[in-house]
Amino acid sequence: MGRRLTVVLMGYPEGLQVEPTNECNLSCVMCVRRTWRGGAFGFMDLGLYRRLVDEGSGKLRRLALYGFGEPLLHPGFPEMVRYAREVLGDSAYILTVTNGTLMSPARAAEVFGAGIDEVAFSVDAPELDLLSRIRVGVQSYDVLGNLRSAARLKEDYGVRLGVSLVLMKSNYRRLPRVAEAAGELGLDFLVVSHVVPYSPGMVGEAVYTTASRFSVEFYEKSGQDLSVLAREAMQDEFLLHYTYASRGKRKLYLQLVDRLASSGYSVNAEIARDALSKKSLFEEVQLYLKEAARIAEEYGVEVKLPSLYADAKRRSCPYIDSNYAVVLWNGDVVPCMDLAYTHPLYTNMHYKLVRRVVFGNASREPLGEIWESPRYRAFREARRKLSDNVPWCGDCPFATSNCWYVSANEFDCYGNEVGCNECLYSAGLAHCLV
């Protein structure tokens, strides 16, 4: 009797984000590239890229060709699109995000003709004056003209074209005009993401809070009572101990705490107070978001807008949900763009060092093997139900009290290796195009 042959099917990501280069021709005020700790710059080897695409044949459903650099700086970018289309066929969706500086009419025709499905222009304002203050160096290029030209070409090639915008205090009032311009150009989508503060100066540009709306509203109604009752409950304990009398403050305090606990949320008083101090700002920003959504709907432009509040109970990782892996220009395989490079983060009223997480290098071993490695599998599994398995520091009382778990991202207080407990992307405040 012959031996039975067991075939083990190797898992593979359904989506892949490939960084053609981390070089860029602009110096945007909010970009993480201004704050990187060490690391080299370069362009992905086309041989490595072809191996990635070949390995993904029949497996990949989506391919995102961009990273923390301008993808069109790579001299082989049109060829990257063309090769992927030939190998992956029509079953894979290919997209990119560009600052638009190099997307001249001729280059747009070349990239569109190579078979790309979707292109997003990063345009944070409808006029060059403000745009050049945000995306420093853009004044040397005709980005808005390139967008208009690409809009005229897109129908000929069946390409989805849209705008991605980083929302800040500097530009939120211009959002409806961006939506209107997108509609007038016949664009397909508008994606808005809050700024991620990589530097102290960007903290003041944020028009959102990391606190959950429930927590802020609870603090607004009961926060003062909670802090007062906490002191009075302690006094009641002493009074009860020595006089056997009670004013009932302990009972009232515990009832309030129980009500908060039963909700599944917690409250950080400092962060909640900060959110309340910006309540009028948030209300104004919300009006502009609604107006932009209304205009976009009028023109038939798809729009994705961020919330102004986090929600500790409704978090998810876009990379985990979509079974995505990320390969940087040098072959390093990382779980997401936020963990691609070591960088500072200023959130929840404190500084944090976010260290990069690398699971392997695709130039030395097949991506499928890296994807199925025990460490990478464990990382993904812990984040399948993110709200249950990963804490949220935006509501935690210890987040602003020098908690060890918020100073860096090695671990979180649930014991997960690599902390995603302050990830703005998981809370829907910042958006990835994947």
The full set of domains in the chain, from first to last, is: 15-206+277-427 (3.20.20.70), 210-266 (no CATH)
Q: Which pLDDT belongs to residue 220?
A: 87
Q: Which pLDDT belongs to residue 222?
A: 77
Give the mean pLDDT of the chain.
91
Mean pLDDT of the region 301-328 = 97
Q: How confident is the model at residue 3 (pLDDT cuts 50, 70, 90)?
A: very low
Angstrom distance (rounded) from CA 35 to CA 4 = 56
Q: Is the pLDDT of residue 288 over 50?
A: yes
Model confidence over 15-52: pLDDT tens digits? 999 999 999 999 999 999 999 876 799 999 999 999 99
Give the least confident one: 61-65, 241-245, 287-291, 310-314: 241-245
The Cβ of residue 51 has, within 10 Å, a number of other Cβ atoms equal to 16
Angstrom distance (rounded) from CA 84 to CA 110 = 15
Q: Is the pLDDT of residue 244 over 70?
A: no
Model confidence over 354-410: pLDDT tens digits? 999 999 999 999 999 999 999 999 999 999 999 999 999 999 888 998 899 999 999
Instruction: Give the global pTM.
Output: 0.91
Q: Which pLDDT belongs to residue 7?
A: 36
Model confidence over 154-195: pLDDT tens digits? 999 999 999 999 999 999 999 999 999 999 999 999 999 999
Model confidence over 67-93: pLDDT tens digits? 999 999 999 999 999 999 999 999 999
Q: Is the pLDDT of residue 242 over 70?
A: no
